[in-house]
Amino acid sequence: MKSWLGRLWPGAAQDNSFSATWDDESGTPRHTTDLGRWSNEIERCDVLDAYYRNESLYRNLSAELADRRYKGYSGFRNPASRLIELYVAKLTDRLFESLDTGGNDELAEQINLLYEWSNWKDRIEEAARDLTIYGIEWVKVEQNDQGTRIQRNLLDPRVVTYFEMDARDILTYLRLDTAFQIELGSGEEKDMWRTEIWDKGAELYEAWEHDLGPQADEDDIRDTSQGKSKRIERAFLATELPDGRSTGTVTGYDFIPVVCRRIRVRREDPRGRGVFQHILDPIDELARQAQKLSQMMFPEIYCVITREKGARGGDLQDIHLQGEDAARALARAQQEGYRVIDVEGVKTIRLAEGQDMKWSIPPIDFSGHVSAMDNFVRESIEKDAPELTYYRLREFGQPPSGVAADTMMADLRDRILNVRAKFEDAEVRINKMALTLAKLLQLEDFQSVGEYESGDLDHKFKPYILFPKTPLEQAQEAQTDASAITAYLALPEPILKRYLEERGYTREQVEAILKVVAESKEKAQAGTNAAEAPAAASILDTVRAVRGEDAVPIAPADTTPAVSPFVGQTGDLRIVRPRSGAA
């Protein structure tokens, strides 16, 4: 087994007290290290990639454990990879279907067209991996070479040399260094870099090509007299030329067309932290235990051929077969009197009378070691990364209900939904930028795009439910809420409003419920007979409507009204209890 060589980091650590820091909130890397694993942002990304991809050891262990019929341990995998793929699945699950433009179908069509131009429905998983592996996601919005489309390009975090942001996480300064090569002839190539500097404060965008390296000083890049650098683009980052300028090029917009989204930001980690970055040490320990188990399962000398003394054909000495050089072992066995035969192209030792194959080491029960690894995962990894307990749901004999899962795994739900909210916010920002640029270029189908400042581009994504409830659970929960609301009607409206907010209803949903309550109270005070009043939504119908659920099917002839204790005050406000068996 050669898939694990110890801790993953580019260079040897001097001690165990390093910390990745940057000079300021802008994100400029300084040469320090985090626990000896990296010294700058590029190395940090490389190391986190290595942890995410290092899974061959765990895959081989799983196969061997399955062959030896150890039950319950067939799921060994790299915890970093498992964690990332869980986040990717939940961040992108039904994301595009949940787009909510507030009934503006034209805006929805325009956004979907932008998705199609960038093939974003396929690349969205790559963006989710960037955000969760590195703790930061970079997406650049730009036109294609022909100027006929607007596309979004996912930037590698390694190309971002420096950036500054305001309090809203909107970029105010950005430097990108992208490597490329040019051909010199005779098969030779030269490394070059394209450096882009976007400065919102100076209202300026510039781009150079040079051979000075990715960390070159900006003054050296701007100095074109040495022939090492050439400016290829320059434009004012504005809708019109600045005062005092009569010539020049303008971009037509006054923002940096790059969206940056970060998670788990700290003062010492302005570029964010990946979702498994805080458990690197436990992952190292788990890998060490897995390596030790692998060494026990795959010894170099794995078996011995023995022969009973006195058996017919003469005495033959024991032969130790080495797994790394089977051909040499077979040749030596043949020289010493063992019969080697060819079976369908495979050379095999034919065991004569009195011969037997035995292990060179006594049989070992690995279940204790495997159990220790499993307990280590539960105690030292899953408690620091509770998202991994999501996979434990499969261990239940009967899957838990949506309500039970949501209650048991509240910390898991909150972490995943928090990251998804930031991921969705990034998507909204990207869409608004793309719509603005498409309108600026006067692209077909985008002439009707409204103004950003007036809120014409506002949209969102519908709330995501991590643990969906069955229709019966939804109906029961709605009935419980409706009954509680009815009981609260005798109390002042602020108390009812606070109750609804504590139950998790949004401001719009609360207003919808309170509106029905107010209308019903007005009818009651006016002395309107509920039976003769025009059909109005009951509290239950309203609750289910604002929750986005289908109405409870109720047969009018078989319903039994459960009248509120405050019926004298509320008039037609009542809960209709469906007959037994209705969902």
Per-residue pLDDT band at 71 (split at 50, 70, 90) = low
Q: What is the pLDDT of residue 97?
A: 95
Better-predicted residue by pLDDT, 135 or 355: 135
Enclosing H/E stretch for 357: strand 355-358
**Domain identity same for 401 and 285:** no
Per-residue pLDDT band at 419 (split at 50, 70, 90) = very high
Residue 166 in domain: no
Residue 526 in domain: yes
Q: What is the pLDDT of residue 28?
A: 45
Residue 264 in domain: yes
Per-residue pLDDT band at 17 (split at 50, 70, 90) = very low
Dihedral of the CA atoms 146, 151, 152, 155 (nearest 10)?
Answer: -20
Better-predicted residue by pLDDT, 447 or 518: 447
Short-list 423, 434, 429, 437, CA closest to 459? 429
Over residues 24-37, the mean pLDDT reads 47
Over residues 404-411, the mean pLDDT reads 86
Residue 56 in domain: yes
Q: Which amino acid is at 314?
A: G
Question: Which residues make Cβ contacts (< 8 Å) with residue 455, sequence separation at least 6?
Answer: none
SS3 (DSSP) at 185: strand
Over residues 394-409, the mean pLDDT reads 78
Q: What is the pLDDT of residue 47?
A: 86
Least confident among 27-36, 105-114, 353-362: 27-36
**Domain identity same for 562 and 478:** yes
Short-list 560, 563, 558, 559, CA closest to 574? 563
pLDDT above 80 for 233: yes
DSSP secondary structure code for residue 28 in this structure: -
**Domain identity same for 118 and 259:** yes
> Please, are residues 357 and 318 in contact by the beta-carbon 8 Å criterion?
no
Q: What is the pLDDT of residue 101?
A: 95
Phi, psi of 181 (to 5 degrees): -130, 145
Over residues 388-413, the mean pLDDT reads 82
d(CA 273, CA 456): 34
> Please, are residues 200 and 173 in contact by the beta-carbon 8 Å criterion?
yes
Better-predicted residue by pLDDT, 7 or 152: 152
**Domain identity same for 439 and 544:** no
Q: Which amino acid is at 385?
A: A
Q: What is the pLDDT of residue 173?
A: 97
Q: What percent of the chain has pLDDT over 90?
A: 39
Q: What is the pLDDT of residue 8?
A: 45
Per-residue pLDDT band at 431 (split at 50, 70, 90) = very high
Per-residue pLDDT band at 402 (split at 50, 70, 90) = confident
d(CA 384, CA 390): 13
Q: What is the pLDDT of residue 485?
A: 76
Look at phi and psi of residue 203 and say left if phi exceeds 0, alpha if psi is from -120 to 50, else beta.
left
Residue 165 in domain: no
> Please, are residues 562 and 579 in contact by the beta-carbon 8 Å criterion?
no
For the entire predicted model, the pTM comes to: 0.73
**Domain identity same for 137 and 207:** no
**Domain identity same for 343 and 321:** yes
Final residue of a structural domain among 219, 253, 287: 253
Per-residue pLDDT band at 348 (split at 50, 70, 90) = low
Dihedral of the CA atoms 422, 428, 433, 439 (nearest 10)?
Answer: 180
**Domain identity same for 475 and 550:** yes
CA atoms within 13 A on the CB side of 575: 21
Least confident among 140-149, 299-308, 348-357, 491-500: 299-308
Instruction: Tell me which residue has tokens 């109750």.
Output: 499
Q: In 54-115, which ranges are E strands?
A: 99-100
Least confident among 241-245, 335-339, 459-463: 335-339
Beta bridge partners of 235: 205
Tokens of 97: 């279907």
Residue 525 in domain: yes
Q: How many CB atoms lie within 10 A of CB 573?
A: 25
Q: What is the pLDDT of residue 538?
A: 61
Q: What is the pLDDT of residue 559?
A: 34
How many domains is the chain partitioned into structurally? 5
d(CA 332, CA 206): 72
Least confident among 33-37, 190-194, 196-200: 33-37
Least confident among 79-83, 148-152, 172-176, 393-397: 393-397
Q: What is the pLDDT of residue 197?
A: 97
Q: What is the pLDDT of residue 349?
A: 60
Q: What is the pLDDT of residue 394?
A: 75
State the sign of the Cα–Cα–Cα–Cα dihedral 437, 439, 445, 450. positive
**Domain identity same for 122 and 83:** yes
Q: Which amino acid is at 98?
A: S
Short-list 139, 161, 156, 252, CA closest to 208? 161
Q: Which amino acid is at 121?
A: K
Residue 424 in domain: yes
**Domain identity same for 282 and 378:** yes
Tokens of 276: 């498994």
Over residues 421-432, the mean pLDDT reads 97
d(CA 90, CA 419): 10
Per-residue pLDDT band at 23 (split at 50, 70, 90) = very low
d(CA 305, CA 326): 13
d(CA 33, CA 160): 19
Per-residue pLDDT band at 293 (split at 50, 70, 90) = confident
Better-predicted residue by pLDDT, 313 or 555: 313
pLDDT above 70 for 387: yes
**Domain identity same for 289 and 304:** no
Helices (H), 399-506: 402-408, 410-440, 471-488, 493-502
Better-predicted residue by pLDDT, 562 or 541: 541
Instruction: Tell me which residue has tokens 């006067």.
Output: 442
Over residues 39-58, the mean pLDDT reads 83
Per-residue pLDDT band at 192 (split at 50, 70, 90) = very high
pLDDT in tens, 139-184: 999 999 888 999 999 999 999 999 999 999 999 999 999 999 999 8
Q: What is the pLDDT of residue 540?
A: 67
pLDDT above 60 for 111: yes
Across 266-280, 313-327, 511-525, 564-578, the highest mean pLDDT is recorded for 266-280
> Please, are residues 101 and 107 in contact by the beta-carbon 8 Å criterion?
yes
- Taking all residues of the chain, what is their mean pLDDT, rounded to a whole number? 77
Residue 15 in domain: yes
Strand 171-185 with 160-165, pairing: antiparallel
**Domain identity same for 392 and 438:** yes
Q: What is the pLDDT of residue 570?
A: 33
pLDDT above 80 for 453: yes
Final residue of a structural domain among 433, 468, 503: 468
Cα first-last separation, the chain: 56
Q: Which residues form the domain of 11?
A: 1-74+277-299+362-384
Over residues 322-333, the mean pLDDT reads 60
**Domain identity same for 490 and 534:** yes
Q: What is the pLDDT of residue 569?
A: 34
pLDDT in tens, 364-374: 777 888 888 88
Short-list 562, 532, 569, 57, CA closest to 292? 57
Beta bridge partners of 568: none
Q: Which amino acid is at 581?
A: G
Per-residue pLDDT band at 15 (split at 50, 70, 90) = very low
d(CA 415, CA 403): 18
Dihedral of the CA atoms 275, 277, 280, 281 (nearest 10)?
Answer: -110
